[in-house]
Amino acid sequence: MLVGSAWYLVQRSRAPAGQGGGGGAGFGPGFGPGSGGGSAGVTVGVAAAVQGALPVVVDALGTVTAPVTVALVPQVSGVLIEVLFTEGQHVKKGQVLARIDPRTFQQALAQAKGQTAKDVAQLAAARLTLERYQELWKQDSVARQTLDTQVALVQQLEAAVQADRANEGVAELNLNYTTLRAPVSGTIGLRAVDPGNLVSTSTSTGIATVTQVQPIDVVFAVPQDRVPAVLAAQRQGQLPVAALDRARTRTLAQGRFLTLDNQIATTTGTVRAKARFDNSDGVLFPNQFVNARLQLGNDVGVLVPVTAVRTGPQGDFVYVVDDDNTAHMRGIVRGIASTDQVLVSQGLKAGERVVIEGGDRVKDGGRVQLAAAAPQGVASAPGAVRRGGRAGRGGAGAPAQAASAPAAGASSAPAGR
């Protein structure tokens, strides 16, 4: 203790006359950051709390999914004689894409038509015979058994004609199947079979795949705790959904929320959700991984920068600076947050000033100096204040600067050693 007192007297004797007060050297009553005993206190940055709103969002990893994907599989077997599409081409529903050799099916259709014509002629002859038997029956010139047999023959031929017409329809349908058309509008993929190859209905991959990409869907998972909020927001109207890239730095597309699945996955505790995007520019691609951001609405409250909110043993708090530039610790209840703002639901009013920089050196009830109101020669950042104090020692303005910034004086004393 004696050594410390002696060192203090030596330093005081070396200080300029204007600096010899009780708090100039930084070891007087104002020593220590945030003590409140100095003339200015520590330099801090402040910001005013404002009334505003933050969007309530649900962020989740999603997968781009095509609403419709159809494999172009032949419905009849035959030789592929013609391919009429280009890989990657956008096709319309009903557009002719390929053809199978139709000659076999043309002959089958002709054969079915011939059989139909034969049975129709036999039916006509049987009906005429039936009419004669009916007249003879009235004249009691024919046996009842003969009449009944002719009636049964007519009915048999009528059934045969119906079967022939059904076979004729099947043959015509098979002939139509030799022309492969686009089942939906979309983008056609790579060709899997070249012309000249034999294709059949057992071809699993098909000739190509048509995928609908406009519009397109994004499937993502919603935590089960957020399901009630999603349902409540959905009842209020249409919900916007944004598709972001992997880094969540760029918005790829804007869409709308469609629906939730009807079950919660027990393994993950989430519910599958689907959103739809117009995708007019084609930026979304099937099976692409994106970050889906579902906006449920807005929460209104007092907004402060993220750096203003601190956490202590008693919970979240901020330092509020009053009109006398005194910092007071204030407990708050925080709500949702964005990357740069926090919504405070309780404990703070709009217009109050909160510390956003230098809060680590502030104490409850301590005096602070606002960075914007720092005296000439004292920078706003705490590090700059110390540099200003060291520079002041070599000039005539040093005493004034040391007296106005205790932190600078405190750092300049050891430098004199």
In this predicted model, what pLDDT tens digit does every residue of 315-354 receive, in sequence order? Answer: 999 999 999 999 999 999 988 888 889 999 888 999 999 9
Are both 353 and 398 inside the same structural domain?
no
In a domain, 90, yes or no: no
In a domain, 59, yes or no: no
- pLDDT band of residue 123 (cuts 50, 70, 90) is very high
What mean pLDDT value characterizes the chain? 81
Alpha-helical segments (H) within 140-220: 144-177
Are both 357 and 315 inside the same structural domain?
yes
In a domain, 116, yes or no: no
Task: Look at residue 23 in the predicted model and tell me its pLDDT.
Answer: 39
DSSP three-state, residue 91: strand
**In this structure, what CATH number is given to the domain that contains residue 345?**
2.40.420.20
In a domain, 115, yes or no: no
Task: Look at residue 40 in the predicted model and tell me its pLDDT.
Answer: 58
| Domain count of the fold of the chain | 2
What is the pLDDT averaged over residues 160-185? 95
In a domain, 338, yes or no: yes
Task: Look at residue 187 in the predicted model and tell me its pLDDT.
Answer: 93
The parent domain of residue 400 ranges over 385-412
From 28-37, 85-94, 354-363, the region with the lowest mean pLDDT: 28-37
Give the C-alpha separation, 257 to 232, whole Å.
13
Of the two residues 206 and 398, the one the predictor is more confident about is 206
Structure tokens at 67: 């609403």
Of the two residues 297 and 254, the one the predictor is more confident about is 254
What is the pLDDT averaged over residues 123-134? 93
Task: Look at residue 372 in the predicted model and tell me its pLDDT.
Answer: 60
- Residue 2, pLDDT > 50, answer no
Task: Look at residue 71 in the predicted model and tell me its pLDDT.
Answer: 92
For 278-326, where are the E strands, in sequence order? Answer: 289-305, 310-312, 315-321
Give the C-alpha separation, 293 to 57, whole Å.
6
For 67-212, where are the E strands, in sequence order? Answer: 69-71, 78-83, 90-91, 96-100, 179-181, 186-188, 198-199, 209-211
What is the pLDDT averaged over residues 350-369? 90
What is the pLDDT averaged over residues 211-216? 93
Are both 306 and 351 inside the same structural domain?
yes
Structure tokens at 116: 């139909």
In a domain, 138, yes or no: no
Task: Look at residue 139 in the predicted model and tell me its pLDDT.
Answer: 87
In a domain, 280, yes or no: no
Structure tokens at 88: 């990657």
In a domain, 149, yes or no: no
Task: Look at residue 138 in the predicted model and tell me its pLDDT.
Answer: 87
Greatest Cα pair distance, the chain, in angstroms, is 157
Percent of the chain at pLDDT exceeding 70: 79
- Residue 52, pLDDT > 70, answer yes
Are both 349 and 308 inside the same structural domain?
yes
CA distance to 74, 123, 176, 178, 388, per residue, from 99 (Å) = 10, 38, 10, 6, 86
CA distance to 45, 313, 320, per residue, from 48 (Å) = 11, 25, 10
Query: In this predicted model, what pLDDT tens digit does every residue of 230-275 receive, in sequence order?
Result: 999 999 888 999 999 988 889 999 999 999 999 999 999 999 999 9
Give the C-alpha separation, 94 to 385, whole Å.
77
